């Protein structure tokens, strides 16, 4: 099949970043297409008519939506290299649980930290710190959430690290003092080319968040 | 090796129903343990310390939480009978997309039908109908969401059918009038033993709603 997979994405999206990391982990060449939300492309609207959101991976003309779905699909479509999951069903279920935790608890909390102010932001900060501590406890002394190898949970969470500086600046706290192990883990992950190539600079994210706050708060 | 399978559950939960159905589909014997969500048991708090929710599947002492994750786990551990998920990566992604859609959209809007009043209730009702129509459109003329075989998406959704009578009563509308194909699909599903065994009667759910509202502190 001659055509490259296409990734419909948006540069600051930590969800889009997951798809980028996943594809690069597998050594898959892909065409990255930046979406403009004020002017969504026909391909996006056609590929994700239900949610109209990024990321969308279009592979062999067929769309896969929702970032964790995309990561799982990439693992299954290119199974030979760097498997994202352990082979035992229990380990796999645990990995899914933790990625789901990131989506359910971490996502909302982190948005309140950078995207809100006042009481809402304070509440978000508390939820965020709680979630971070739970994740740190789950990581324990392992190099990665997946154990010795970088895997599904690592991919689901590492993309938020590009936003850490923004959380700290707008939330006025230090993530490292709350969770040094998580920061160490993030630095370890950033040494991987698949990660460092897929995450934008923290300063760019801070500027992006500042602009959002200026326009919305 | 003797398998020990325990399910911590709550009888009206459409999420718990998913796991019950999946286990029944695989003919797995399990110990069903009813939980009191307003007085959570030590085993629930120990096995799901993060969310403290049901259902929790405990297999040989190890917990698996979150109903969709449990379905996938059950499919992998007991692969010999009817697979719940297709083997093709693209079709699996599609099934998971719809499972995620159901999780994100159905419960929230449905809850406003029985749990809210006035504008919120009306908005919930409207959204719920729209969501069901989207699902009905995805079903199309297929026998089941997965095609010819009953599977993951069917199981993800069918538990809500036991609540339809309650939604209709509190929402004052007919789901069949809005989504006849979906009702036909549901009736097909409840003919399966795994589903019939796992869903409580609609009347029981409808009677339970006022009690639930009281427990939740909703008027």
DSSP string, B179-192: -HHHHHHHHHHHTS
Q: State residue B3's pLDDT score.
A: 85
pLDDT band at A3 (very low <50, low <70, confident <90, very high): confident
Given A59, A73, A100, which is nearest B69 (Cβ)?
A100
- Summarize pLDDT for A28-39 with one digit per residue, the tens: 999 999 999 999
Of all helices (H) and strands (E), which one includes residue B57? strand B56-59
Could you state, in chain order, the average pLDDT of each consecutive group of 10 residues for chain B (219 residues)? 89 98 96 97 98 98 98 94 91 97 96 95 96 98 96 98 97 97 98 98 97 91
**C-alpha–C-alpha distance, residues B185 and B206, integer Å:** 21
Residue of B nearest to A72 (CA): B93
- Which of chain A's residues have a Cβ under 8 Å away from the Cβ of B64? 90, 93, 97
Q: Answer whether A73 sits within 8 Å of B100, measured CB to CB.
A: no
Q: Is the dihedral of CA A98, A99, A104, A108 positive or negative?
A: positive
- Summarize pLDDT for A86-132 with one digit per residue, the tens: 999 999 999 999 999 999 999 999 999 999 999 999 999 999 999 99
Residues A169-196: what's their mean pLDDT?
96
- For residue A202, give the nearest of A215, A217, A190, A194 by alpha carbon: A190
Q: State residue B1's pLDDT score.
A: 53
- Give me the percent of chain A exceeding a pLDDT of 90: 98
Of all helices (H) and strands (E), which one includes residue A32? strand A31-34
Residue for token pair 């706290």: A173
**C-alpha–C-alpha distance, residues A136 and A183, integer Å:** 9
**C-alpha–C-alpha distance, residues A79 and A96, integer Å:** 17
Model confidence, pTM: 0.95
Which residues are CB-neighbours of B188 under 8 A, at least 6 positions away? Answer: B143, B144
Q: Provide ipTM, 2 decimals.
A: 0.95
- Summarize pLDDT for A13-59 with one digit per residue, the tens: 999 999 999 999 999 999 999 999 999 999 999 999 999 999 999 99
β-bridge partners, B32: B7
Q: Answer whether B59 sits within 8 Å of A90, measured CB to CB.
A: yes
Q: State residue B51's pLDDT score.
A: 96
Structure tokens at B203: 């009347």
Question: Best interface-test mutation with A: which of B97, B104, B135 has the largest number of A CBs within 10 A?
Answer: B97
In contact, A99 and A153? CB cutoff 8 Å: yes
- Angle made by CA atoms A188, A191, A196, in degrees to the nearest 5: 120
Given B64, B65, B96, which is nearest A69 (Cβ)?
B96
- Give me the percent of chain A exceeding a pLDDT of 70: 99
Which range (A63-77, A197-211, B70-84, B149-163) has the least confidence?
A: B70-84
DSSP state, residue B88 = S
Strand pairing category for B5-9 and B31-34: parallel
Residue of A nearest to B104 (CA): A104
Q: State residue A2's pLDDT score.
A: 59
Q: State residue A70's pLDDT score.
A: 98
Q: Answer whether B70 sits within 8 Å of A65, measured CB to CB.
A: no
Q: State residue B173's pLDDT score.
A: 96
**C-alpha–C-alpha distance, residues A131 and B131, integer Å:** 31
In contact, A64 and A70? CB cutoff 8 Å: yes
């Amino acid at each position: 099949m001659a055509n490259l997979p296409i990734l419909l994405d948006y540069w600051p999206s930590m969800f889009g970043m997951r798809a980028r990391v996943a594809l690069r982990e597998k050594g898959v060449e892909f065409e990255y297409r930046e979406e403009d939300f004020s002017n969504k492309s026909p391909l996006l609207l056609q590929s994700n008519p239900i949610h109209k959101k990024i990321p969308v991976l279009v592979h062999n003309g067929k769309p896969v939506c929702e970032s964790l779905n995309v990561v799982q699909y990439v693992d299954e479509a290119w199974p030979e290299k760097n498997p994202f999951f352990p082979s035992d069903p229990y380990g796999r279920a645990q990995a899914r649980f933790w990625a789901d935790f990131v989506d359910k608890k971490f996502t909302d909390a982190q948005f309140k930290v950078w995207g809100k102010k006042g009481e809402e932001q304070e509440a978000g900060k508390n939820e965020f710190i709680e979630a971070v501590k739970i994740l740190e406890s789950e990581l324990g002394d392992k190099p990665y959430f997946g154990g010795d190898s970088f895997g599904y949970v690592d991919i689901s969470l590492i993309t938020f690290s590009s936003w850490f500086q923004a959380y700290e600046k707008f939330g006025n706290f230090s993530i490292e003092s709350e969770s040094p192990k998580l920061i160490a883990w993030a630095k370890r992950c950033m040494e991987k080319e698949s990660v460092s190539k897929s995450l934008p600079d923290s300063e760019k994210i801070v500027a992006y968040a500042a602009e959002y706050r200026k326009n919305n708060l | 090796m003797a398998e020990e399978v325990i399910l911590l559950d709550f009888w009206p939960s459409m999420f718990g129903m998913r796991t019950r159905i999946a286990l029944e589909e695989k003919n797995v014997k399990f110990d069903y343990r009813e939980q009191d969500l307003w007085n959570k048991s030590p085993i629930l708090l120990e096995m799901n310390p993060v969310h403290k929710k049901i259902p929790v599947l405990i297999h040989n002492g190890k917990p698996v939480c979150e109903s969709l994750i449990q379905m996938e786990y059950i499919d992998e551990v007991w692969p010999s009978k009817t697979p719940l998920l297709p083997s093709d990566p693209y079709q699996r992604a599609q099934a998971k997309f719809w499972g995620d859609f159901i999780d994100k959209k159905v419960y929230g809007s449905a809850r406003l039908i029985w749990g809210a009043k006035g504008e919120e209730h009306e908005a919930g009702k409207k959204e719920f109908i729209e969501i069901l129509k989207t699902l009905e459109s995805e079903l199309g003329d297929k026998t089941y969401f997965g095609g010819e075989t009953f599977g993951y998406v069917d199981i993800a959704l069918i538990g809500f059918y036991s609540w339809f009578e309650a939604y209709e009563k509190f929402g004052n509308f007919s789901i069949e009038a809005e989504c006849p194909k979906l009702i036909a699909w549901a009736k097909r599903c409840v003919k399966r033993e795994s589903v019939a065994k796992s869903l409580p009667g609609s009347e029981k759910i409808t009677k339970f709603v006022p009690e639930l509202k009281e427990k939740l502190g909703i008027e």
